[in-house]
């Protein structure tokens, strides 16, 4: 598992215990106590093909609770909260469905998902979807300092035209 000191302040990655038996397995995916602050109020399932990049995105008003159910996902993080002790810290971690873990991403931490193979991701959020709480950032801005293991992912038109990190930082900190 990843070194907790390498993650932005308030971001956690918790391995999930799976209990197998002759019928299959049982895994607790969510306990209210695992997500500090507000509880998750909406759950979303994302399925993506290999080579797809979703994000970078930052949410000034809600936290994310992310579990890779199947496949392999590279997750890039960058702390954009100027008041945080880890402001500017980039991180890259890989989560896969073969070893379940939950990643908690606090408001103000930018995150992007690169699907190394066909994958399914479950995301709980602490506020209902609101387009004004979703600020895109250019995934390949060198100022992010995220060492992505690819160079030309499949992108949505919005992700392909996202603003620079410098523009996003000022937007996020006005909203926090």
Residue 164 in contact with residue 135, Cβ under 8 Å? Answer: no
Closest CA to 2 of 93, 128, 109, 101: 93
Q: 24 by DSSP, 3-state: which?
A: strand
Q: 31 by DSSP, 3-state: which?
A: coil
Residue that the structure tokens 């695992």 belong to:
34
Structural domains for the chain: 6-175 (2.60.120.10)
User: What's residue 154's pLDDT?
Assistant: 96
Alpha-carbon torsion 157, 148, 142, 90, what sign?
positive
Residue that the structure tokens 């190394």 belong to:
116
Overall pTM > 0.85? yes
Along the 176 residues of the chain, how does pLDDT read in single tens digits? 566 578 999 999 999 999 999 999 999 988 888 877 778 899 999 999 999 999 899 999 999 999 999 999 999 999 999 999 999 999 999 999 999 999 999 999 999 999 999 999 999 999 999 988 999 999 999 999 999 999 899 999 999 999 999 999 888 878 76
b or e along 105-135 (b: 16 or more beta carbons within 10 Å of the residue's beta carbon)?
Answer: bbbbbbbbbbbbeebbbbbbbbeeeeeebeb
């Amino acid at each position: 598992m990843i070194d907790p000191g390498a993650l932005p302040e308030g971001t956690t990655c918790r391995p999930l215990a799976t209990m197998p038996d002759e019928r299959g397995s049982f895994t607790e995916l969510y306990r209210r106590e695992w997500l500090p602050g507000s509880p998750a109020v909406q759950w979303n399932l994302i399925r993506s093909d290999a080579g797809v990049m979703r994000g970078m995105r930052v949410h000034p008003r809600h936290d994310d609770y992310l579990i890779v159910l199947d496949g392999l996902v590279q997750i890039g993080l960058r702390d954009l909260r100027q008041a945080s002790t880890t402001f500017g810290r980039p991180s890259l971690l890989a989560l896969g469905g073969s070893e379940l873990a939950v990643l908690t991403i606090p408001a103000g931490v930018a995150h992007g998902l690169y699907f190394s193979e066909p994958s399914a991701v479950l995301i709980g959020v602490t506020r209902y979807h609101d387009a004004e709480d979703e600020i895109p950032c250019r995934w390949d801005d060198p100022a992010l300092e995220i060492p992505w293991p690819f160079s030309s992912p499949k992108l949505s038109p919005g992700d392909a035209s996202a603003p620079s990190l410098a523009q996003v930082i000022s937007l996020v900190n006005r909203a926090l």
